[in-house]
A and B are shown apart, each in its own frame.
Chain A
Amino acid sequence: MSADTSAREESTGSTRPPPSPAATYTARPGRASRQRLSTGAAAGFLGPNLILLGVFLFLPLGWAFLISFQESSGFGASGWVGLENYRRLVTDPTFWQSALNTAAFTLITVPSSLALGLGLAVLMNSVLPGRRLFRTLIYLPMVISGIATALMGVLLFDEATGIVNKLLRESGLATVPWQSQGTAAFASVILVTLWIRVGFNMVIYLAGLQGISPELYEAARLEGASSWQQFRYLTVPLVGPSTFFLLIMDVIYSFQVFDTIFVMTGGGPGRSTSVLVTYAYENGFVTRDQSYAAAIGIVIFLITLVFTAIQWRGNRSRDTVG
């Protein structure tokens, strides 16, 4: 396009004769030069990011992989132990309990946050009064630090002094053992996670919804489709690419949940809310067994990678639909 423009400018703004075939031929190295420039620009854009990714992501990842085959000595790793840390994982009941909790957490939070996000997006995409305010309010927890939102979770769910139990008490209802009973503690963490996560899902779905042509709904209405049928057979399939993106993001988020649980329950009561990342943290920074923690980290990485690869292969065509 720029070549055409410059050609037009040359033909209209100049009194020189049209270029000879030889001149046209000499323009070819110019295109090659532009191509080189374009490649250079791409490298310029990508370079800083690749350097940062390399230094702060791939290098530590490779390093963690190496450390996971070594023995911890408190400060740094020493001595090669091969697969010993991974063997230890297999026989460690706390690891399995944490893995099970992580899986349960993921299975509950991902579908719930997707469903709530889509529901809220549909609501916010309609003629709801004050929807800009509601959108902001729902998105707000996402822009606050995870620790701060988790501390708000403590204010809400503290068993003795929390707002939720105070309200229940005032209403004459039984209070919930949010911190002393495993299932309730798990529920409190999930509720706070949904509160944090739903805003992001809503915004992505909202963008997806606003890309759908209103004529499709008009046609469906003319064909006599009910609101539910419009939602089920138009909205849900047409926001497929958003769902695909959110599914991957939410699963990664759920597998890597840490701050909410660390602040709200510390993994307790007992081990009922311990997840893989909190267990890795405990080993790495409390017990100072960094090699074992690195092995747990590698397991989390591999699980996430495998899940994303499966999703990617199974849904490769989704981003071209709708």
Chain B
Amino acid sequence: MTISRRQILGGAGFLAAAAALNGCAGFSGGGTDDGGDGDANTLTFTTWGSAAEEEGFRSGIAAFEAANSGTKVELNLVPYEQIFQNIDAQLQAGTAPDLFRVDYGTIGAYSSQDQLLDLSSYFDTAAAEEFLPAMWQAVQFDGKPFGVPHQTDTSALVYRTDLFEQAGITSVPDSLDSAWTWDEFRQVAEKLRGSIPDDLYPFVYNWQLGGSTRWLSWLFQAGGRLFDDGLTGSAIESDAGTRALEFTQGFFTDALVPPSSSVKSSTYADDAFSAGTTAMAFVGNFVLPGLEENIKDFEWGATYLPRDERGACDLGGNALVATKNARNPELAAEFLKFMTQPDQMSDFCARAMELPTLNSLVGTELDYQTRPDIAGIFVEQATTLEPGDVEQLTAPAMAAINPKLRDELEAAFTQGQPVDRTLANIAAAVDAAAG
């Protein structure tokens, strides 16, 4: 058989187009390598995760498959930086996975746009009451649950014992009730400023790289709110808002934090602390394994976040959700239920150094592998989060407000933008997004 040049060219063209289209399938992500797409007993699950989290998910999936004969869950791991761009594109293209992982600040953007499976018929009141009220609140939209709270995390304060000794700081708070007030915290920072070299800094705050909403902890501690009570407009232009912004702006003007640690910095707070450039750092519990691994030159401990009118902290962690067009909604809901059973949740949280969201696990000692001596500080700190805070942090409008909040905080911290103008601009962004 002879093959003509035209046939070769045609074949090459077809192969090139097929290869290119196949390449695009990587972006769509919902497809699978072994043809599981059409199988109603197969679930596709997209998530990001650290090595420990991946291990936790794989272990949970294996247990689910063993408990539900004939089912299969295909895990698709995507870097955190691109997961929501992928998910958005897949939802628009109709190729979204059956299940994905989403942080509490972003879930509203999906539930309010009718992209997620309403789980009301799968989780009755008794099932809902098993979760911490604040966390169950975090997955609600319009009074209906659109996900399950899989784990949570929050920030606390870690510190270098050597630099504390050098500054003459001999005691740190050992309970929530004795946590430093803002004034006491400021005094500690100033003591450190006076005793450490100029190129080291008293502390670093973790509001970088998408973490700008962590600034709201200061607002809540001051007794302030971002939204009004009905979540229909802003409430940040207040004495509490002014106090919180003035206090945090002072971190930069008084050289208490590295000048490069503002909200647009490309360096995470825990990296700066690991590198030994700060005496304290506000960090989430999920970074503890990284700190333990990277810090070799000094001893470090942890304490509670400062408080003002009240204690408050940030809402970290993630929910698991099913997409509205999941091929087998019953099976997807079954998987969500399974992954939030006490044994699965405690296994996952212990591996990944994260906090559980079930009432039944709050008082129990999880088998944390890293720094179990300080894990309890984060667990206790998480109790300062109030339902009203959660309601604001998970409002659908937060997705549009976040970038504006980041820009305005950046302008206040690094460009000297006045406090009242900054608050007015944030308020305008909240009004525009929530109105």
Q: Is B272's CB within 8 Å of the partner chain A?
A: yes
Give chain B nearest CB distance to A150 CB in angstroms: 9
Whether B113 and A269, one on each chain, are in contact in the complex, defined by CB atoms closer than 8 angstroms, is no
Question: What total count of A-B pairs have CB within 8 Å?
Answer: 115
Q: Are B85 and A287 in contact (CB under 8 A)?
A: no
Q: Interface range on chain A: under 10, 10 to 19, 20 to 34, or 35 or more?
A: 35 or more
Given A44-B9, A75-B113, A154-B267, do A56 and B20 touch, yes or no (CB 8 Å)? yes
Q: How far is the CA of A76 from the CA of B109 in the complex (A)?
A: 13
Q: Tell me if A81 is interfacial: C-beta within 8 Å of chain B.
A: no
Interface string of A132-167 (1 = CB under 8 A from B): 000000000000000000000010001111000000
Please tell me if the beta carbons of A270 and B6 are within 8 angstroms of each other in the complex: no
Chain B residues lying within 8 Å of A265, measured Cβ to Cβ, are: 264, 266
* A38–B48 CA distance with the chains assembled, in angstroms: 52
A179 touches B260 (CB 8 A): yes
- Find out whether the CB atom of A266 lies under 8 angstroms from the CB atom of B264: yes
CB contact list, A9-40 vs B, under 8 A = 37, 40
Q: Which of B88, B262, B266, B403 contacts A282 (CB 8 A)?
A: B403
Q: With a CB–CB cut-off of 8 A, which chain A residues contact B258?
A: 159-160, 180
Q: Given A56-B20, A179-B266, A268 and B410 touching (CB < 8 A)?
A: yes
Q: Are the CB atoms of A180 and B414 closer together than 8 Å?
A: yes
Bound CA span A77–B67, Å: 42
Confirm or deny: B411 has a beta carbon within 8 angstroms of a beta carbon on chain A.
yes
Known: A48-B17, A75-B91. A161 touches B407 (CB 8 A): no
Give residues 256-293 of A contacting B (CB, 8 Å): 263-271, 282, 285-289
Q: Are A159 and B259 in contact (CB under 8 A)?
A: yes
Fill in one digit per residue for B241-277: 1 if any A CB lies within 8 Å of its CB, else 0: 0000000000000000011111111110001100101
A74 contacts the other chain (CB 8 A)? yes
B415 within 8 A of A: yes
User: Which chain A residues border B26 with CB–CB below 8 Å?
Assistant: none
User: Is B266's CB under 8 angstroms from A161's CB?
Assistant: no
Known: A75-B113, A177-B260. A270 touches B415 (CB 8 A): yes
Find chain A residues with CB under 8 A from B259 CB. 159, 177, 179-181
Closest beta carbon of chain A to B24's beta carbon, Å: 8
| A225 interface residue (CB < 8 Å to B) | no
Given A179-B265, A268-B265, CB of A287 within 8 Å of CB of B92: no
Q: Do A52 and B399 touch across chains, with their CB atoms under 8 A apart? A: no
- Given A161-B277, A266-B209, A51 contacting B414 (CB threshold 8 A): no
Of A44, A75, A76, the residue contacting B10 (CB under 8 A) is A44
- Selected from A41, A180, A270, the residue in CB contact (under 8 A) with B9 is A41
Q: Are B415 and A51 in contact (CB under 8 A)?
A: no
A45 near B: Cβ within 8 Å?
yes
- The answer on a CB contact under 8 Å between B414 and A270 is yes
Q: Which of B94-131 contact A (CB under 8 A)?
A: 109, 112-113, 115
Binary B-proximity of A78-89 (CB < 8 A = 1, otherwise 0): 000000000000
Q: Is B63 close to A, CB under 8 A? A: no
Given contacts A51-B17, A74-B109, A159-B259, contact A287 B267 (CB under 8 A): no
List residues of chain A with CB within 8 A of the CB of B275: 160-161
Pick the most buried of A44, A48, A74: most chain B CB atoms within 10 A of its CB. Answer: A74
| Neighbour of A41 across the interface among B6, B16, B261, B402, CB < 8 A | B6
Inside 8 A of B10's CB, which chain A residues have their CB?
44
In the complex, the answer to whether A48 meets B199 with C-beta atoms within 8 Å is: no
Q: Chain B nearest CB: distance from A233 CB in Å?
A: 46
Residue contacts A-B, CB under 8 angstroms, 14 given: A51-B17, A73-B113, A75-B113, A76-B92, A158-B266, A160-B277, A161-B272, A177-B259, A179-B260, A179-B266, A180-B262, A266-B209, A266-B264, A268-B264
Beyond the given A55-B20, A286-B402, please list 4 additional residue pairs across the A-B interface where CB-CB is below 8 A.
A75-B113, A178-B260, A181-B259, A269-B262
A-B interface, 7 closest residue pairs, ranked by CB to CB distance from nearest: A268-B264, A44-B9, A48-B13, A180-B259, A179-B260, A159-B260, A269-B414
